[in-house]
Structure 1
Amino acid sequence: MDALSNVLSLLKINKSKVTGLDAGGDWAISFPAFEGIKFNTILKGHCWIKSEDEQNPLLFEEGDCALLTRGEPFIATNNLNSPAVDSSCVYDGKGGKITVWNGGGDFFLISISFDFDGDIGSMLTKALPPFVHLKNASNQVSVLQWAIQQLSIELMEDTLGNELMTNHLAQIMLLQVLRFWLGPGQERYTGWLAALSDQRLVRSMNAMHMKPDYPWSVAELGNIAGMSRTSFTEHFRKVVGQSPINYLIDWRMQLAVDMLIRSEKKILNIAYEVGYQSEAAFSTAFKRIFSCSPTQYRTARLDTSKQL
């Protein structure tokens, strides 16, 4: 499994909600900060989306899709001169229905929001810009629009296999957006996703993800990338923002957290699976990052889940 598939396979949706906006005339809506991510698709009309402190709004037209990744407040409007109304005045907060504003008829949008369980979602969204804009003409949009339509049905109806279908459709949507963003001509941000568009680094990234338990050395990873140890280290740090070994440690910890939460495996077995030869070594590394032992982390997360 390649590095991107590896990360997406660990994503678990905690909460999801679908809303629709049917607006008429001139309108502007101010949305507060939110958790997780939002997918928006414009089915009719157009609108600008901008952050509250940003001067350059992005224009989204009929058929376009947007991924909002940072949970930051934003304004959506079809007229940049219109005063913004707080979203609480527009939506009733229940979700799962179409909201009509100003009589409707001129603009229609479907918005799907996800809140991910655990730290993998944060690992993904931090590597992306606040807004990812997919034009209607791009190859990824047709599949994305289909997935959004199917997910809207799943979220509005209580059907068999709903939870599994929702997770799979969300992964499809994310994958389509990431394929677009990792394609040619896109602005790159420093981070692990940027390495996946680097023809040299992607080979070493995939190697670490396929065999996280292997005792990788920088020289071995550099050899896989076709680079010298020094050149590989410098290039990896420039693109990813951290050293190869630190990235490997972080990925091992993400895998460990997933196993702590979603399995009953013993700490020693988890340690072996993520490349540590003893429970003590694993616990020391884990505590350095999370400021608690693996057992304490598991207990705290399980207690939190019971309270929800």
Structure 2
Amino acid sequence: DPSGRVAATIIRSWVENGCGDATGWIAAVRNPDVGKVLAAIHLQPDRDWTVGALARLMGASRSAFAQRFATVVGETPAKYVLRVRMHQARQWLARDGMRVSVVAAKLGYDSEASFSRAFKRVMGVAPSHLRNGGGEQS
């Protein structure tokens, strides 16, 4: 998505010019290795990301990657990927009107029930709430 790349460039410039704080994803964008991993996660949230695959993107061992990622981003790679995926799911449900079963399958869940539990845990509402006109939640 070209608009996503433009937004990433704008944010990176904003951060590099001292306009952002040094924590969380802002710090990660400043870090080229972790920033590359974040970009990959955001460009392909439906990919089956493993710590090993993300570590290879950064050119590090799994343990070194996981430690570095958690230090810079402030949460584990698995939690971050889950959160990004659930935000993508929210878009597909609320904006695009996809069925919950379709979103679950696109994100690699074996069952709609397991996806729904994960979605509710992260987003605070059931995915069917968004699908049934509940609107976007923040």
**How big is each residue's C-alpha offset from its partner over 1:79-130, in whole Å with a ceiling of 9 and x where there is no partner?**
xxxxxxxxxxxxxxxxxxxxxxxxxxxxxxxxxxxxxxxxxxxxxxxxxxxx
Q: 1:186 offset after TM fit, Å?
A: 5.9
Q: Which has the larger radius of gyration?
A: 1
Does 2:133 align with 1:295? no
Aligned partner of residue 249 in structure 1, secondary structure: helix
Write the mapping of 1:164-179 to structure 2, written as runs, cut at 5 A: 176=10, 178-179=11-12
How big is the alpha-carbon RMSD for the aligned residues of Structure 1 and Structure 2? Answer: 2.7
Structure 2, gaps ≥5 residues long? none
**How big is each residue's C-alpha offset from its partner over 1:141-199, in whole Å with a ceiling of 9 and x where there is no partner?**
xxxxxxxxxxxxxxxxxxxxxxxxxxxxxxxxx964x2432226566422123212211
Does 2:108 align with 1:280? no
Tell me what 1:220 maps to: 53
**How big is each residue's C-alpha offset from its partner over 1:33-77, in whole Å with a ceiling of 9 and x where there is no partner?**
xxxxxxxxxxxxxxxxxxxxxxxxxxxxxxxxxxxxxxxxxxxxx
Is the 1:253–1:286 Cα contact (8 Å) retained in structure 2?
Answer: yes
Tell me what 1:19 maps to: none
Query: Which of 30, 44, 56 matches 1:197?
Result: 30
Q: Name the one with the larger strand percent.
A: 1
Q: Structure 2 counterpart of 1:5, which letter?
A: G
Is the 1:252–1:275 Cα contact (8 Å) retained in structure 2?
Answer: no
Hey, what's the Cα distance between the residues in 1 that align with 2:46 and 2:69?
Answer: 20
Tell me what 1:259 maps to: 92
Does 2:71 align with 1:238? yes
Q: TM-score, normalised to structure 1's length?
A: 0.39
Hey, what's the Cα distance between the residues in 1 that align with 2:108 and 2:22?
Answer: 29
% identical aligned pairs: 33
Is the 1:190–1:238 Cα contact (8 Å) retained in structure 2?
Answer: no
Q: Name the one with the larger helix percent.
A: 2
In structure 2, relative to structure 1, the CA distance for the partners of 1:235 and 1:186 (3 Å cut) is farther
In structure 2, relative to structure 1, the CA distance for the partners of 1:179 and 1:211 (3 Å cut) is closer
Hey, what's the Cα distance between the residues in 1 that align with 2:12 and 2:41?
Answer: 21
Structure 1, gaps ≥5 residues long? 9-173, 303-308
Provide runs of 4+ in structure 1 moved above 4 Å.
184-187
The number of residue pairs the alignment matches comes to 135
